[in-house]
Structure 1
Amino acid sequence: MTRILLRNGVIHTGLATGGPASAMAVEDGRIVWTGTDPTVFMRAGFASPDEVVDLDGRLITPAFVDSHVHVVETGEQILGLDLVGAPSRDAVLEKLATYVTGLTPDALVIAQGWDESLWPDPTLPTAAELDRASGGRKVYLNRIDGHSAVVSSALMTEVPGITGLVGWTPDGRVEREALRALLPLLTDLTPAGDAERGARAALQSMAALGIGAFHDNAGPDIGPESDLTAVQSEAAAIGLHGTYYWGAHLGFDDLDRLDDLSGLAGDLSADGSIGSRSAAMTSDYADLAGHRGHAYLAPEQMAEHIIGCTRRGVQAGFHCIGDQAIDNIARAFRLAARTLGREVVRARRHRLEHCELPSPAAIETFADLGVIASVQPMFDGLWGGPDRMYAARLGERWQEMNPFRTLLDAGVRLAFGSDSPVTPLDPWAAVHAAVHHRTPGQGITPAEAFAAHTAGGWYAAGIDDTGTLAVGQRATYAVWDRTAFPDLTAPDVADVTTACLQTVVDGRTVFEKDRSEKEGVR
């Protein structure tokens, strides 16, 4: 039995009720007391703690949960060629040319994060330009949303028949079937051990940011099963709590073959993305007349998936962004409820990833059937507003994107994530973005936003005994280098983001900043 007493701090419990707390007692990984006078509690039976931690006035909160992350891909970005923020096509090519210096001629280069919507000239690099910049190497440059890429000639020639697949273009841009055809090749060409190294780097970064739990959105269109295994192994070693989804349509055999799956959910794609113009819309894209994206699954196909998952006691879920795709999913859930019954469907806590442009009718369906919206506030932070990518692609419809206030008011539960490497691992910035939504009236309160990035993530995973610092809950918390809960209403996100000093999961320390830098946390 391990007993720890934390005192002299600022305890933000995450609860809507209850008085202030400056101390907390943990026994065998569970919270057994919170309050202001630890001597009272110690006299009542906790007289001999194994460890007393003086917080020196520091803030302690529930640890964050990232409800949508791609762990191995995040690690690849951390360890490899990161193109996030590259200001132009020329900058991308320059970064590539610098990165390949010293690599062997047969090396595979995987890079992520370019976003042409931020460039003065949105013209993409071509395969021929990648060939020149890379010295003829195999190059795969993934767009920031992961739904299109540009690739070099050397890589394309490794996939027989790619020129006949939907989504292939001779200038090196690939999407849809052509993009999926490249994934097995990337796996075959990736050196042994890279998945483990990437997973480790990503998980260590999460722990250092006060993220104690994550939902890995894996699947056959994301990466191989070995990536999932690598994440599970590294998470167990580090101590983070993982929830694992495998986005395979009707992949019921996978539930028996793969360990520790919570569902056939996550990035099982009902459509694509706004940035790649592949999200399925009910109206034309403003910058591409006659084009409405792509719906990858019919309502009846998705209903079969929902019914099968529900009967097997696991979560179903879909990646969905455009209103047509989301309407299709709403119809699928109504079909499933007609077959199984409303309460049976509600009890399973099925989920949607992104759910960016839901219609009022779809929102009503999701609220009625208990479907959770796993959303990414930094999507709005990066691409919302009248002069950014959503407006360029959708015109005035940008104001309908990511309606957090509307979803909450309708009764839809929210869970926040990053979709890293699509947006950065930065939970405080995400909470701030949800409060300062770019569409007037769609911002939510600081308490609601913080809850969505903590307790909301646990709820979305079907776990109800953690997410707040209440008696009986798992001791999963973070200690921060500040003496008060941040003012999330402050306009500058720099006033919110702060250094994490310690992250604890189920009573186990998974991250602790160097003792010389902790300024009193001991």
Structure 2
Amino acid sequence: MRLLSGEIFLNGRTRKAVAFDETGIIAFDDEALELDVEFEELGSAFLTHAFMDGHAHPLFAGREHLGPDVTNAKSVAEMQKIVAAWLADNQSPIWAVGGAYVRSIVDGGVFLASWLDEVAPDRPVVLHGSDHHTLWANSEAMRLAGVLSEAPSLSVGSIDVDASGRPTGVFRETEAKELITDAIPELSMADELKALTWAHAELASLGISAVQDAWMDKGMVEVYLAAEDLGELVLRTNLAFWVRPESWRADAKRFIAERTRITALRSPKLSARTVKFFADGVFGSATASVKKPYDSSAGYLGDPVWSSEELNASVAHFAAADFQIHIHAIGDAGVAMALDAIEKAGCPANSVIAHTELVAEEDIPRFAQLGVIANFEPLWAREDGMLTSCLHHLGRERLDSMYRMRDILDSGAKISFGSDWPVSNPDPLLGLFTATHRALPETPEVSWTPHQRITEKEALHAYTLAVAQQLELTADCSDLVILSGNPLKANVLDITVLETIIGGQTVFARQ
């Protein structure tokens, strides 16, 4: 048991002391101080609920970490240098698979295979775009995948081609991307575990105790089961099975069997209660589904991944099987389609619409009416290069109507926060700053759409107890974080994580 006293904020209340152990929180304030336990003074530090990430992809992030990391590269030349250095240092694996390049570095997000060919003429290179709905491949990767000379027709998504119809290197959305990714050799289980261990350590260092891994494809569940079996699973993790329109009926039995297998473990760290749908794509590729045509393409409304009839049937099927519903929806038509499917399924409890970037006025009140959680990635609510790269697709009016956190909260709906890592930085402190400022850290006084800012308490709740509810965790679990300052009062950008506690046990402590 530990007893801490000082500046404490738990369950929406200020406390002066808390006692806890691996079973949960035992006592507060005077009752805690009366226990026969030596107490620790927090001093100038601050204790609150551990952060939780309501939508992320830690295994994907760990896999990318094994390859060339171009996340912070500011130019194509810098990315070429990073890829060349990685290839020189790594003779195996043959394939170099990394990420995540920022599309706004190049006008229109058009990257060419020939640029990667300059540093990798003989080895296949694949870099994921930062939106993770796009990838960039070199000629050798396209040759090995059998798509070097001709782009096949697609039902959803697109492949950039030259005047002769030959692919030039960029593949947008799942069907196109899988032409390349299906050719990449599978990682060994040792490398998969290395990737997951690194990802969990990164998140724990940021004060995060629990995460929704929002995309389980074939083979990924086995990685989590292996980590659990070895006692190497650090964070509480809920898995979401990816539901695909072309195979959901056949996949449903496998999802139920894998959920049953995980539930039987009775693990405090691993669950699999959720199914994940993609209603549409993303604005950067103009594949998000919109109600009014894109400014950049007359009459074009984006690429819905599902027909409304099929999405309705699938959501209803999985809701009846007692899965939590979690739907990626970016455009206003995609959000409306997701809300319709949830409503027709009888409004299953704790349903989530992730991202909710653009929501039509008439759909704002439906979140509260249907009991749907709006999961936002707060770091996206700022006018950076990623946002402004969508301007030519959406126009200023629609761009400035994105990420309506304030409006959705004021409607009576619940919101939770996530990062979509590795799409964006998973640091909750940076997310708290953005949610309350709608600004870049270097210019905090320049707020984009300031009327959509939320308060410090609302933002902290969205990153802690709101995600706990989404993940069906109890509010009295002893998942705690000790920060160097109080994010409700101090400049959150000056605060660091000192200690992360999961189930009463320290999993990260800053030296």
- Same-fold call, TM cutoff 0.5: yes
Q: CA separation in 1, counterparts of 2:110 and 2:81?
A: 14
Equivalent residues of 1:66, 1:453 under 8 A apart: yes
Other-structure match for 1:432? 433
Other-structure match for 2:171? 174
Report the secondary structure of 1:509's partner residue.
strand
Report the secondary structure of 2:15's partner residue.
coil
Specify which of 97, 111, 117 is matched with residue 110 of structure 1: 97
Specify which of 187, 209, 212 is matched with residue 215 of structure 1: 212
Other-structure match for 1:153? 139
Q: CA separation in 2, counterparts of 1:331 and 1:373?
A: 15
Query: Given the two structures, how large is their TM-score scaled by the length of structure 1?
Result: 0.84
Which range moved further: 101-110 or 200-209?
A: 101-110
Equivalent residues of 2:216, 2:242 under 8 A apart: yes
- Asked if 1:239 is matched to 2:225, the reply is no
Report the secondary structure of 1:306's partner residue.
helix
Q: CA separation in 2, counterparts of 1:123 and 1:241?
A: 36
Cα shift at 1:145? 0.4
Other-structure match for 2:43? 56
Report the secondary structure of 2:74's partner residue.
coil
Report the secondary structure of 1:129's partner residue.
helix
Other-structure match for 2:380? 379
Which range moved further: 172-181 or 251-260?
A: 251-260
Equivalent residues of 2:227, 2:233 under 8 A apart: no
Specify which of 325, 330, 333 is matched with residue 324 of structure 1: 333
- Asked if 1:460 is matched to 2:460, the reply is no
Query: Given the two structures, how large is their TM-score scaled by the length of structure 2?
Result: 0.86
CA distance 1:264–1:399, shift in 2 (3 Å): same
Q: CA separation in 2, counterparts of 1:172 and 1:230?
A: 35
Q: Aligned runs of 1:170-209 on 2, under 5 Å?
A: 170-176=167-173, 177-186=175-184, 188-209=185-206
Deviation string, structure 1 residues 87-136 (Cα, Å, up to 9, x no partner) = 222322232222212332762111212122244x4563322221221232
Other-structure match for 2:266? none
- Asked if 1:480 is matched to 2:483, the reply is yes
Cα shift at 1:80? 3.2
Letter paired with 1:137: R
Cα shift at 1:42? 4.9
Q: CA separation in 1, counterparts of 2:28 and 2:199?
A: 32
List runs of 5+ in structure 2 lacking aligned partners.
161-166, 264-270, 439-447
Q: For this pair of structures, how many residues does the alignment match?
A: 474
Cα shift at 1:228? 4.7
Letter paired with 1:5: L
Which range moved further: 322-331 or 441-450?
A: 322-331
Report the secondary structure of 1:198's partner residue.
helix
Other-structure match for 2:16? 22
Deviation string, structure 1 residues 183-206 (Cα, Å, up to 9, x no partner) = 3333x2434422111111110011
CA distance 1:178–1:431, shift in 2 (3 Å): same
Report the secondary structure of 1:381's partner residue.
coil
Q: CA separation in 1, counterparts of 2:275 and 2:307?
A: 16
Letter paired with 1:62: H
Q: CA separation in 1, counterparts of 2:46 and 2:92?
A: 51
Equivalent residues of 1:159, 1:185 under 8 A apart: yes
Q: CA separation in 2, counterparts of 1:232 and 1:383?
A: 39
Equivalent residues of 1:89, 1:124 under 8 A apart: no
CA distance 1:55–1:474, shift in 2 (3 Å): same
Letter paired with 1:291: Y
Deviation string, structure 1 residues 445-486 (Cα, Å, up to 9, x no partner) = 1111110000010111123x22xxxxxx1111011223x345
Report the secondary structure of 1:243's partner residue.
strand
Letter paired with 2:210: A
Q: Aligned runs of 1:177-326 on 2, under 5 Å?
A: 177-186=175-184, 188-220=185-217, 224-229=220-225, 237-249=232-244, 250=248, 251-258=251-258, 259-260=262-263, 261-266=271-276, 268-326=277-335
Other-structure match for 1:137? 123
CA distance 1:353–1:238, shift in 2 (3 Å): same
CA distance 1:384–1:351, shift in 2 (3 Å): farther
Report the secondary structure of 2:151's partner residue.
helix
Specify which of 420, 429, 452 is matched with residue 442 of structure 1: 452
Specify which of 331, 335, 347 is matched with residue 344 of structure 2: 335
Other-structure match for 2:28? 34
Letter paired with 1:455: L
Equivalent residues of 2:367, 2:408 under 8 A apart: no
Equivalent residues of 2:136, 2:171 under 8 A apart: yes
Q: CA separation in 1, counterparts of 2:224 and 2:286?
A: 29
Other-structure match for 1:494? 493
Deviation string, structure 1 residues 153-180 (Cα, Å, up to 9, x no partner) = 2222223467314223310111232212
Report the secondary structure of 1:420's partner residue.
coil
Equivalent residues of 1:207, 1:240 under 8 A apart: yes
Equivalent residues of 1:434, 1:449 under 8 A apart: yes
Other-structure match for 2:445? none
Equivalent residues of 1:384, 1:398 under 8 A apart: no
Letter paired with 2:192: A
Q: CA separation in 1, counterparts of 2:11 and 2:293?
A: 43
Deviation string, structure 1 residues 361-383 (Cα, Å, up to 9, x no partner) = 33333321111111101112364
Equivalent residues of 1:238, 1:510 under 8 A apart: no
- Asked if 1:419 is matched to 2:413, the reply is no
Other-structure match for 1:87? 74
Structure holding more strand per residue: 2
Cα shift at 1:209? 1.0
Q: CA separation in 2, counterparts of 1:27 and 1:330?
A: 40
CA distance 1:90–1:71, shift in 2 (3 Å): same
Other-structure match for 1:360? 361
Q: CA separation in 1, counterparts of 2:481 and 2:113?
A: 46
Report the secondary structure of 1:237's partner residue.
coil
Q: CA separation in 2, counterparts of 1:192 and 1:262?
A: 20
Q: CA separation in 2, counterparts of 1:168 and 1:22?
A: 58
Other-structure match for 1:70? 57
Q: CA separation in 1, counterparts of 2:132 and 2:32?
A: 52
Equivalent residues of 2:17, 2:32 under 8 A apart: no
Letter paired with 1:504: I
Which range moved further: 80-89 or 399-408?
A: 80-89
- Asked if 1:164 is matched to 2:152, the reply is yes
Q: CA separation in 1, counterparts of 2:69 and 2:488?
A: 30
